[in-house]
Structure 1
Amino acid sequence: MLLSSTDHDKKKEEEQLKKLISHPLGGLIIEPTKSALENRNLDLFISLMNQNIPFLMINDRYTELNCPCLKQDEDEGGFIAAQHLIQLGHRRIAGLFKTDDLQGVHRLKGFIRAHSMYNIQLNPDLIISYDKDFKVLESARSLFQKKEERPSAIVCYNDELAIKLLDVINQTGLKVPEEVSLLSFDDSYLARVTQVKLTSLKYSKVEMGRAAAEMLINKIENREMQWDKEILFKPELIVRNSTQRNKEPLFV
């Protein structure tokens, strides 16, 4: 078994793919790098296909490829996140989404869909799209400059960002969840290490990894199976004390 990391870098994805292809491979499980952007390494994926090396993708797949894909239902996750806050009486909900990968794009899509379903007008100024090079925390800080315009709740792309945003919110003198509710994705250990425990969307990462390995092994061993397919894993909302009912009538 060989493991490699791209560190979310297209050039490193190219380097790692070339290195792996140089070995006698039975198959590959791949998480695409910045999947919402151009697939600069299409030639290497075509090389895998030409060599009859089976591969599948997890978390999403490049749109021009038809390989199997096992991923979380990110659209539904974004919907559940916004719906939870809407049902708590929040109407000015900010969203911070990393959109250089399709996971973030679909989370944002679900977030927007929830507002539409509940007939709540979405303020575009409350949506911040970013990539790893974007100073997202500085933009988030600007959300709190005017009391009458600040959000009463925020959805973060992941727990890591939410932890950093907690510090920003504290620096403004606001309290979570009394004045700002905070919700994130991944339900990692980070969601439980701070004084304010994060409400977060939990995903079936272990189950997805196991299913991906079983699918690839079955393909390598020529067992009968449907190969070109997409498998969705449903998220689960884990409610903790970073979200609460909105008490400010200004934002209702």
Structure 2
Amino acid sequence: MILILGGTGEARKLAEDLTAREVRVVSSLAGRVARPRLPVGEVRVGGFGGPEGLAAWLRENDVAAVVDATHPFAERIGANAAKAAELTGTPLLRLARPGWQPGPGDVWHWADDLADAAKMLPELGKRVFLTSGRQGLAAFAHLDDLWFLIRCVDPPGPPLPRHHELILARGPYEVAAERELLGRVDVLVTKDSGGGQTSAKLTAARELQKPVVVVRRPPRPASETAATVPEAVEWVLRR
């Protein structure tokens, strides 16, 4: 059995490709999204109880290998997976889509985390398009002089910025629609998620010459890494 961690597009495609090759796959989702897109094959939802709990699950289910295909900012499960793999001697692969890179015409400002991004905003504009997800919005809640257009998949909990408008939507997004939203704001805030699902906002920002605050990815434990699903499939089949 192969355990795939994460509900990303790459995780779903990997589950589909491995199942088509008659490899038994169990996909584990964190359960933070109300209506997740379910992958092909067996699915479990919820945590394992830390690295020790995950290690016990790997042993009990005779898992041959683990693929961490979680979101680039899912720090905790990444650390837990690395520790559990070490405790059990289970091969671990990190499937990580490449991050975004600025191109000609982009006006990007790199931030170390959401708190760092919040510090930059007063100098960049009064109206902010916030697309960093519903977790971590508290980092912007104190900015009473700014207005936020906040986009999330599911409704966020408090605290939220005092002046805001909320959009509930799921990607992929079209450049034309993103251009219209960006026309209402001065600056865009995003995490360096990578991939094409949500990159249209970057194209629109470039066209409109809007500044973009990009939050850097957090560090991950060292492990074997694949950048694409075919690379991950090849890694699994070798085992």
Looking at secondary structure, tell me which structure has more helix per residue: 1
Question: Would the TM-score normalized by the shorter structure come out above 0.5?
Answer: no
Q: TM-score range by the shorter chain?
A: 0.3 to 0.5
The alignment's TM-score, normalised by the length of structure 1, stands at 0.41
TM-score by length of 2: 0.43
Which protein shows a greater Rg? 1
Q: Which has the higher strand share?
A: 2
